[in-house]
A and B are shown apart, each in its own frame.
Chain A
C-alpha cells in the first residue's frame, strides 16, 4: 500500500473553475509538501505545511494532522495551471515520500 495517496489521478476543468486535489497519508509526518511538475519535467515546490493553512496567490493548501489529510485548492483556474500536482510527506528523516501525482488540465 502506498504511504501517500492522491485523488483524483486526473482532473480536467474549464478556465475559472475552483479545483481541489486531495492527499491522504498513512504515516506520522513532520511536514507535507505540495509540488508542481511541469510538462517538461521540472519540479517546483509550492507549499510546505506542518499544520493549518497556507495561501499563495490563487493557491491554498490545508492540512488536517489528525485525519492525515491535505488538500490543495486552486481558485479561478487558468490554462497555465495545467501540470501534475504532487503531494509528498517528510518523516523523521528529511527524505520526501511522494504520491503518484494528479494530472490537471485546464481548458479555455
Chain B
C-alpha cells in the first residue's frame, strides 16, 4: 500500500542552524500538509500546499519557515534559523483530491534543537 515517507527520522541541530525536513507524499496525491507536535502537546497545523502554492498557513508558520516542492516527488519544510522552541515532531501529510478526504500521514521527523 502506498505510504507517505519522511526523512530523516531524527535530526539534532544547533540553535540558529538551518534544517530541511523532507517528505515524499503518495504519488497521485495533490494536496500536501505539514503539522507539528511539541512533546506532550497536541498536533498543530503549520501549512497546506497545492498547485505549487501555499493554500493556508498558521500563525506558527512565520518567515523562518518555507515549503517547497522542488521536483515531482519531494515536499520539503525548511526552517531557516532554528530556535529551541522548534523542537518537535514534524509530520507531513497528503491527500488525493479536493474536498473532504482522508489525509495520510508520514511517520514524522523528530527535531531536537540544542
Contact = CB atoms under 8 A, between A and B. Distances in A.
Bind each other:
yes
B74 interface: no
Given A48-B100, A90-B100, A93-B56, A98 B107 contact: no
B100 A43 contact: no
Nearest to A40: B107
Interface string B94-114: 010001111111011010000
Given A93-B55, A95-B33, A45 B45 contact: no
A41 B43 CA distance: 11
Given A30-B100, A98-B44, A45 B107 contact: no
Interface of B is mostly: strand
Nearest to B37: A41
A31 interface: yes
Contacts of A97: 45
A87 to B, nearest CB: 10
A45 B93 CA distance: 11
Chain B, interface size: which category?
A: 20 to 34
Interface string A19-33: 000000000001101
A10 interface: no
A43 B56 CA distance: 22
Chain A, interface size: which category?
A: 20 to 34
Given A43-B91, A95-B48, A86 B43 contact: yes
Interface of A: 30-31, 33, 35, 40-45, 48, 50, 86, 88, 90, 93-101
Interface of B: 31, 33, 35, 37, 41-45, 48, 55-56, 58, 89, 91, 95, 99-105, 107-108, 110
12 contacts: A30-B100, A33-B103, A40-B107, A45-B104, A48-B100, A88-B43, A94-B31, A94-B95, A94-B99, A95-B48, A95-B56, A98-B44
Given A35-B105, A50-B100, 9 more contacts: A31-B100, A41-B107, A41-B110, A48-B101, A48-B102, A94-B99, A95-B33, A96-B43, A98-B44
